[in-house]
Amino acid sequence: MATLMRMLLIVFFSAGCIFSHVYAKEDASFEENKPVILSDLLKSKRAMALKMARQFYKEDFYDYFKKELSYRGADSCDLVSLLKGFKARFRSEQIDGLYSYFSHMDSQMREAKGIKKHVAGLLEIRLAFSNIGLPEDSSDLLFAYVPDGDEKSWEYIEAFDIYGNEYQLDVNAPPGQQVIVVGLDSEKDMKAGITLMNEELKKAGIQSQISYRGKSLEVSKLDHIRVEDDCEPWISGASEIYALVNGISPGNSVNITAIDMPYLNYKDTDYYPNQVMIIWDNYRFNAANINFFEHDDNTNYKELVSLLIKSIGAVVPEYAYIFEIASQIILLMPDGFFTNDDDYVDVFYTLEKAIAYKNYSGVSNNIRFTLSPYIIEGE
């Protein structure tokens, strides 16, 4: 009967974009109790996806998961919180062990990325396709994780079913059934990273701390933005893009501010955020740059901001070097921090205070935006 079931699964899944399947084995080189390091993040994500796939074999857990998503009205949830809730209702030695394992992994992931103090939980379980919904039977599900490296070099997406079979899914063509993705919550990760970067930049004197109370502020606000479609793989989910606004401060030092852009989730889509991007009291010479980057699982934000502080201080604070600051930010990003070539999105050099930029393209032609001067009236 088990053999028949496995044959039926192979026939069913082969209707989608699946290359091959074998029985999945634990990675012998992966040590569960060993501290997570970002260079081995892929092994950690694979181990977590395989463990969750096997857990969904249990009907009571799958039923609980479906109810939780329905209750939240979402297509994702915090993985450790999900297991904690299930553990409270269905006590067993097995679920206690699973909860301990994922709690440990969550803590280790936050530690490895330098954001342990800035976010309570980082592991996430989400549906790859919000428009498909969940099947009646968990045997119709696949479980996957986001690979590392340049997306253009990915040969396949590794996935598992609840029986421990391994599948190789097509990178660009969706497989035709629901896939549950186990990994990091990129929105939480990036938000915590931006908070950490701004804190450290202020401490190092590389972020202006001018008091704005009661003052009218001359700013440039983002009226419209569009990131060009680069055909991202289906497993990547929504994009998480942030900006580094940079230039020379009135105190004649380098000034950098990290800005979260939580709405900018999908490429080839027009957004009208009305978001303040540049506060001109923070910049000398009435000029500044904006660098755009995309979130990456392998980023250690604490090390990244330390490298920014160390490297950017060498820039001479003169008008001619405003351009150089943005270039330095791009050049100092080594492979150890960003493993996808797509993490650098675009850069806008020497944006000026009183100028409106309509449907303006960045250097790499990946972003077009409309940036307009605006005055925020004081008290």
In a shared domain, residues 176 and 199: no
Instruction: Mark whether 203 and 93 lie in a shared domain.
Output: no
Amino acid at 91: R
Among 77-86, 280-289, 308-317, whose mean pLDDT is lowest?
A: 308-317
Query: Within this chain, do residues 97 and 109 fall inside the same structural domain, yes or no?
Result: yes
Of 31 and 199, the structure prediction assigns the larger pLDDT to: 199
Q: With both helix axes pointing from N to C terminus, report the angle between 93-112 and 41-55 in degrees, rounded to the nearest 10.
A: 160
Whether 228 and 350 map to the same domain: the answer is yes
Could you tell me if 107 and 240 lie in one domain? no
Question: Which token pair is 186?
Answer: 């990129």
Residues 209, 254 within the same domain? yes
Query: Does 90 lie in the same domain as 193?
Result: no
9 vs 332, more confident: 332
Radius of gyration of the chain (CA): 23
Alpha helix segments (H runs only) across the chain: 2-13, 41-55, 59-72, 79-89, 93-112, 186-203, 301-312, 322-331
State which residues form the domain around 305. 187-376
Res 160 pLDDT > 70: yes
Q: What is the pLDDT of residues 184-196, one digit of tens each?
A: 999 999 999 999 9
Please give the pLDDT value at position 86: 95
CA 10 to the chain's CA centroid: 32
> Of 167, 184, 201, which marks where a domain is finished?
184
Same domain, 111 and 135: yes
Give the DSSP letter string of 66-116. HHHHHHHTSSEEEHHHHHHHHHHHS--HHHHHHHHHHHHHHHHHHHHTT-T
Residues 315, 204, single domain; the answer is yes
* Mean pLDDT value across residues 165-183: 95
Cα 286 to Cα 126: distance, rounded to the nearest angstrom: 44
pLDDT at position 333 over 80? no
Q: Which of 155, 184, 213 is at the close of a domain?
A: 184
Model pLDDT, residue 358: 98
pLDDT over 70 percentage in the chain: 83
Q: How many CB atoms lie within 10 A of CB 24?
A: 21
Q: What is the pLDDT of residue 332?
A: 67
Q: Which range has the worst mean pLDDT, 2-11, 94-103, 246-255?
A: 2-11
Last residue of a domain, one of 184, 209, 236: 184
Residue 253 has pLDDT above 70, yes or no: yes
Express each pLDDT in 75-126 by its tens digit.
999 999 999 999 999 888 889 999 999 999 999 999 988 899 999 999 999 9
Confidence at residue 13, expressed as pLDDT on a 0 to 100 scale: 46
CB 140 within 8 A of CB 105: no
pLDDT at residue 65 in the model: 96
What percentage of the chain has pLDDT greater than the value 90? 59
**Residues 349-364, mean pLDDT to the nearest whole number:** 96
Alpha-carbon span 210 to 200, nearest angstrom: 16
Whether residue 191 sits in one domain with residue 114: no
Could you report the per-residue pLDDT of 123-146, keeping only the tens digit for each?
Answer: 999 999 988 989 999 999 999 999
160 and 234: one domain?
no
* Average pLDDT score over the chain: 85
149 shares a domain with 201 = no
What pLDDT was estimated at residue 25? 56
**Among 31-35, 88-92, 144-148, 241-245, the least confident range:** 31-35
Q: Into how many domains does the chain fold? A: 2
d(CA 356, CA 371): 6
Q: Which residue has the higher pLDDT, 49 or 211?
A: 49
pLDDT for residue 40: 76
Mean pLDDT computed over 260-284: 93
